[in-house]
Structure 1
Amino acid sequence: MANIEEFHEDFIQSVLSDSESRGLMKAQSFFELVCEDLMQVGDLTNNYQMAEFVKTGIEVYGYDFDEDRRIFTLINFHFFQEDSIQTLTRNQIMTKIKRIKKFTNLSIEGLHYDLEETSDAYSLAFNIHRHSSNKIIDKFRFLVLTDGKMTKSISSIPNDLVKEIPCEHQIIDIEYLFNIYKSENSSGSFEIEMDVPYLEVQSKSKEYQSYLGILDGEQLFQIYDEYGQKLLEQNVRTFLQFRGGVNKGIKNTIQYKPDMFFAYNNGITATATYVETKDNYITKIRDLQIVNGGQTTSAIYAAKKNSKLDISNVSVQMKLSVVKNIEKKAEFVSSVSQYANTQNKVNKSDFFSNSPFHKEMKDYSKKVWVATRGGSQKRTHWFYERVRGEYLNEQAYLTPAKKKQFQIENPKSQLIEKTFLAKSENSWDRKPHIVAKGAQYSFEEFANSVTDTLEKNELAITENYFRDAVAKVILFRATEKIVSKASWYQNAFRSQTVAYSIALLSEKVRKMKVYLDFSGIWKDQRLPPELTNLLKVITKEVYDGLTNPPAGSANIAQWSKKELCWNEIKGIKIDLLPIRKLLITTEEAKYEEKSGIKEKALDTGIEIQSFIVKTNFEVWIQLYSYYSSNRTLTITQRDILRKYSEGRIGLPSEKQSKVLYNLYQKATKEGWEA
């Protein structure tokens, strides 16, 4: 794994590449990349918004409101953009915090009355004023982001008050970001000290050790109060407050029969990477993840926090599984989460991390070359990054020469992150209001859509699909550049304008019952001039439409999240005549799709046959033995597996190979090992 200096170098290159490819200022790219990471690990919620306001003595760039914990976060940053890691001094830190506090004070007093209603800063100032007036802010949190390292002369910054509301301070520096990278690519990132009685479950498994523990309501409250969404980072449920029947039942039990909570409630299922025990008590847990029981946790927390109920007599059972092989942590947590929730209704996107989609995209990203252009003799790949840090990890143990070759073949500018892919796909799929809700909502929508597609056709992710997906990423980035450089752009609502513009183009193409030929964009790795010129027209029309919402919808950021907004924007008239040469008929599009699926089916069939033949013969004997002990197989499945394990089938046909392969995969998922 990379060290902090290598991580810093890669991070700065990511900022520079992102800035250049999307037409953003370097500081904007830095800010967005850091905030995306903080959202992924639960330091920011899905409510996060960008909002820039800079004047003498005042400075803020974004905000977040955790409705559950009633914490309002304001964000500032200091971007060094140096080759080596710089030190963020005490004076720099205190200046940044002082400027945030001044904005907060002025906002509580009514700063929004002096701001333009269609600006991001207006939304921020208005929300601070409204929430503080309604007394629903229990704490302010001031974040300062930096690509430097916080000075060692500051061990902590004392908590303070803003208009009688407590505030705390946090510096997100390069070491903090490096720890996020390490936690996503190896072991975890935080430890919780506790005092929980337990029983150890006897097991011979080499994968995990289980414990049964009892938490009281106060313990669970304190843990969630401190760590919040980090505990639910990989949980498949989200808290729905007390609107749903389940949560109403939990609240009623806490309020009227707290002593019966243990009997009535299923408790929580959790995972960890390490525990310490003493005198029959769990004293420390590392990387606690609540994979089932998110509603229980949040309901107990809200019962005390919002409803002021007594939770001291509430007891909650905890089934804790500790993974022994840290390298399989992500897979283990995902599997436990999936099986723990099989009796509950969950979204298809909840288990998307294990979808074959990622493997397909990764495989194509490694084998599909981009055509050389502009006289260059270097052929390159688009690198699909499923988890932040994969690009850096693949270079960690390469020699200098091999590392240079890797970077030439996989330039940073051709890196695709899954959340960015989701934005570009959802925009073209005419869901700009979903994109406007934020990265997490957008990704969930994309995951559901892909899962539906794969359920209908497991061969849907073809090489053509990959090429078109890259072309849409190119389209999205190019549109961002067009907006950023436009004379009419006022440095606000760029992301909404981009998503809505692409969606509007897609809508008009769809209404003509034709398709945009993405193969040309893939071939040239840029937009044709005709399309660029048309997008200059579309983005101006969309921006004007978004920034002039109907009466009662002055908050543009919120207005853009509504389907009603999309219905308004898609009524804008656009002439597609300038790009008529780039449009293809339905028949042509279907032919391309069928050709891609046919080609993939051939490749897949050959790969499966090769796997069957190359797998040690003893494995198939063991697999037959596994299925022979009380395993239900169809007559055909059992016959093929028995004959092959007995050596009665020489070279299995494509159909026989697929049967054997599916049985092998099914057994492996059930825990069987040869």
Structure 2
Amino acid sequence: MNELEEYHQNLMADIRREADASGVFPVEAFFDRMTERLTEAGELEVADRAYFQSGEGAQRLRIDGYAGDPRDSEGVLGLIVCDFADSDTVQTFGKGDVPPILNPLIRFLKKAKTEEFRDSLNEANPAFQVSDLIITTWSQVTKVKLILISNRQYIGRDDTVKLADIGDVPITWSVWDLARFERFDRSGQAREDMVIDFARDFGAPLPALKASQTGAALESYLLIVPGEQLAAIYDKWGARLLEANVRSFLQARAKTNKGIQKTIKEEPELFFPYNNGLSATADAVSCVRTDDGMAVASISNLQIVNGAQTTGSIHAGLKSAKEQLPQVFVQMKLTVVPSDRSEDIVPKISEYANTQNKVNAADFFSNHPFHIRMEQFSRSVLFPARAGERHDTKWFYERSRGQFVNARPKVKGKAQTDFDIQFPKSQLFSKTDLAKFEFSAAGQPHIVSRGAQKNFAEFAKDIGESWSRSDAKYDELWYKRLVSKAIVFRWLETEVPKQPWYEGGYRANIVTYSMAKVFHDANGEKQVLDLDAIWRRQSVPEALQRALLLAAAEAHDVITHPPAGVRNMSEWAKQQACWNGMKGRTLNYGDDFETCLTLVDTAKAAKRDEKAKKAMTEGINAQAEVVTLGAEFWSGVLAWGRERKRLTPKDMQILEVCASMPRRIPSDLQARHALDVLGRMRDQGFGES
């Protein structure tokens, strides 16, 4: 069995298991799972399920979902259709099979633009919701993007090509097939390399000045990019130019800067002196010699890590200021970063280049200390076996895509079985999952409803600011309570579709809203939800289950009954007003709900106990490190510090104890102080030759 066949087998098992557990159709479970990848890869910002099908043959209409309000995506209307084969073996399809799949989606779009079609549907019908959104926003739509997601392998060669126009609006399509999803899940690589060939596709090579010496650790170049070329490149490659995490951070796809737009329209010749330019990275650069000197002929995997607003504004100029664009030029600082170093280098370039935002851009990357700490906890913290099960387990935190797949032993046998027992697939969660769990519990369901990337961006701002003040609260107990929130969230995801009031659709919104409501109502001045009881039993208590389902029914009512003048329920769920309406409703959870709560003082006592345990562990580790370094080493530290008069009386007293080992052994507090002194001495030159 090759890797693709194994991936297909595991994917189908996961989808069938989720469909059976939740009582949904496999294609719906497939849509939810795979659109998470689309948003993470930057193909879409959000994916809302909106299934509709009618007619036969040449009259058939079909849609499975859409990518939110196009006004939030530079006028790009994204529509999604599923091609799902419920098969145990890998199926294939070619270029000729694409039109029968996409044509029903195109026919739906044409129908959905008409008020006659919209008004023939019930307002609760997802097709009504999409049609109304299209009619309302069509005048601002600049491009239609059709996305075909399939669990078959695509053996055609074309990816994104023009299909047809509706009026002046171009339509493009792209395929996310089994192989593409497999590449993304294994390594985060969703596509083939993106090679921008300036000479062949964008007019001419770009004049460049090499800004690094021969043999430097990283190659760097300075370029002047014509506005027309940059706009054309962005028009072709779009979000692929903007690293997904940084794009979310900068909100690059939101409304572009009015000042930049004004300069393009009114003073295009002054754009270069006014604008700070772009900072970008690439895997590789190909240079040529021209009569005018060095020029960049092609760039592999260009990423604009700072200057997304500038890029978006210049691209908008294709429509709003086409005549002025030839006079627009922008400078670019380009650094060649090998792919194996990108996770370390690119975040730093983004952080240091970015001057428009106070929050650290690197907070969005998988190598931020917060994510590393959560990963460490996830590999070491054991949770008790659930009732009826024999094995303790761990929750696997995947801080970067592909970690789980690559950590699982490839060859079947005892090692693979042991891994599956220790890390059940149902206990795998990602950065965006973590953000959903936390923000649902923190009373931000309207932000969670805006999609995984936008929610993660907001969450990361909070974490970045909190971490910079103090990282102490993100300890093992915080992690365990995070897992409690994950257990509640995942339980709701499974149970909501089974409820008699559930009509299909809006599951994700109902889950986050009901969880937020229960946490909001439970957490007061004297009592809070007992999260510690949840992680200890690894399940949701029955009294809490009843409360969550009561809140879920209420959330369904709030979301599906928006105020007058609001028709799109998915968009309604993204508004603060929707959460205010839900928050203000009074629910009677029953007397046994009290059993799910604990006193605030008790919860704080658990936190104090965790701090004491951590301090003790750190003390033991410090003692071990001091002893390992040895008395002779500490004698050297003492002599070096005394000679340069860098030690306080307390420093000397403790270092003398360390230097007299094993006759005297430093206490854990003394050991920690000695290590602090050592760090200070090293900062001042100790140990340097």
Q: TM-score, normalised by structure 1?
A: 0.87
CA distance in 2 between counterparts of 1:197 and 1:380 reads: 57
CA distance in 2 between counterparts of 1:290 and 1:617 reads: 52
* Residue aligned with 2:523, SS: helix
Partner of 2:201: none
Partner of 1:239: 252
Shift of 1:166: 3.0
CA distance in 1 between counterparts of 2:286 and 2:681 reads: 40
Counterpart among 84, 101, 105 of residue 106 in structure 2: 101
Partner of 1:481: 494
Partner of 2:641: none
Deviations 1:324-367 (CA, angstroms, capped at 9, x unpaired): 4x3221221111111112x3324356524243221221111111
Quick check: 1:172 aligned with 2:176? yes
Counterpart among 478, 481, 486 of residue 468 in structure 1: 481
CA distance in 1 between counterparts of 2:525 and 2:385 reads: 33
Shift of 1:640: 7.6
CA distance in 1 between counterparts of 2:124 and 2:629 reads: 63
- Determine if contact 1:51/1:63 at 8 Å carries over to the other structure: yes
Quick check: 1:596 aligned with 2:602? no
Letter in 1 for 2:163: N
Cα RMSD, aligned residues only: 3.8
Deviations 1:633-672 (CA, angstroms, capped at 9, x unpaired): 99669x989x99xx979777203324645898999xxxx9
Partner of 2:4: 4
CA distance in 2 between counterparts of 1:308 and 1:201 reads: 32
Deviations 1:241-297 (CA, angstroms, capped at 9, x unpaired): 677xxx344334333433333233221111111111121221221221111111221
CA distance in 2 between counterparts of 1:372 and 1:61 reads: 38
In structure 1, the gaps of 5 or more residues are: 625-632
User: Where in structure 2 are the equivalents of 1:157-556 lying within 5 Å?
Assistant: 159-162=163-166, 165-181=169-185, 184=188, 189-194=193-198, 195-203=205-213, 207-233=217-243, 234-235=245-246, 236-239=249-252, 247-279=257-289, 280-324=294-338, 326-341=339-354, 343-348=355-360, 351-353=363-365, 354-395=367-408, 400-511=413-524, 513-556=526-569
Counterpart among 127, 148, 151 of residue 147 in structure 1: 151
- Determine if contact 2:159/2:173 at 8 Å carries over to the other structure: no
1:612–1:261: structure 2 CA closer, same or farther, 3 Å change rule?
farther
Counterpart among 52, 56, 61 of residue 58 in structure 1: 61
Shift of 1:538: 2.0
CA distance in 1 between counterparts of 2:169 and 2:336 reads: 39
- Determine if contact 1:609/1:657 at 8 Å carries over to the other structure: no
CA distance in 2 between counterparts of 1:271 and 1:664 reads: 34
Shift of 1:11: 3.8
User: Where in structure 2 are the equivalents of 1:577-592 lying within 5 Å?
Assistant: 577-592=591-606
- Determine if contact 2:264/2:317 at 8 Å carries over to the other structure: yes
Counterpart among 578, 581, 584 of residue 565 in structure 1: 578
Shift of 1:407: 1.6
- Determine if contact 1:608/1:661 at 8 Å carries over to the other structure: no
Shift of 1:183: 5.4
- Determine if contact 1:237/1:346 at 8 Å carries over to the other structure: no
1:585–1:108: structure 2 CA closer, same or farther, 3 Å change rule?
same
Deviations 1:549-582 (CA, angstroms, capped at 9, x unpaired): 2222232222222212211111221234222122
- Determine if contact 2:219/2:335 at 8 Å carries over to the other structure: yes
Partner of 1:629: none
Letter in 2 for 1:199: L
Letter in 1 for 2:674: Q
Letter in 1 for 2:606: E
Letter in 1 for 2:560: T
Quick check: 1:116 aligned with 2:115? no
Letter in 2 for 1:296: T
Q: How many correspondences in the alignment?
A: 652
Partner of 1:653: 671
Shift of 1:487: 0.8
Partner of 2:42: 42
Letter in 1 for 2:336: V
* Residue aligned with 2:250, SS: coil
1:299–1:185: structure 2 CA closer, same or farther, 3 Å change rule?
closer
CA distance in 2 between counterparts of 1:197 and 1:518 reads: 60
CA distance in 1 between counterparts of 2:181 and 2:26 reads: 18
* Residue aligned with 1:584, SS: strand
In structure 2, the gaps of 5 or more residues are: 199-204, 639-643
* Residue aligned with 1:141, SS: strand
- Say which is worse superposed, 414-423 or 512-521, in terms of deviation: 512-521
Letter in 2 for 1:284: S
1:66–1:97: structure 2 CA closer, same or farther, 3 Å change rule?
same
Shift of 1:442: 1.6
Letter in 2 for 1:653: A
Q: TM-score, normalised by structure 2?
A: 0.85
Shift of 1:96: 1.6
1:666–1:455: structure 2 CA closer, same or farther, 3 Å change rule?
farther
Partner of 1:126: 132
* Residue aligned with 1:589, SS: helix
* Residue aligned with 1:579, SS: helix
Shift of 1:215: 1.0
1:61–1:592: structure 2 CA closer, same or farther, 3 Å change rule?
same
CA distance in 1 between counterparts of 2:688 and 2:192 reads: 27
The alignment-based identity, stated in percent, is: 29
CA distance in 2 between counterparts of 1:423 and 1:581 reads: 26
Partner of 1:76: 81
Letter in 2 for 1:584: T
* Residue aligned with 2:113, SS: helix
Shift of 1:514: 0.7
- Say which is worse superposed, 563-572 or 254-263, in terms of deviation: 254-263
- Say which is worse superposed, 13-22 or 461-470, in terms of deviation: 13-22
CA distance in 2 between counterparts of 1:192 and 1:315 reads: 18
Shift of 1:457: 3.5
CA distance in 1 between counterparts of 2:359 and 2:179 reads: 35
Partner of 2:28: 28
* Residue aligned with 1:159, SS: strand
- Say which is worse superposed, 74-83 or 481-490, in terms of deviation: 74-83
* Residue aligned with 1:283, SS: strand
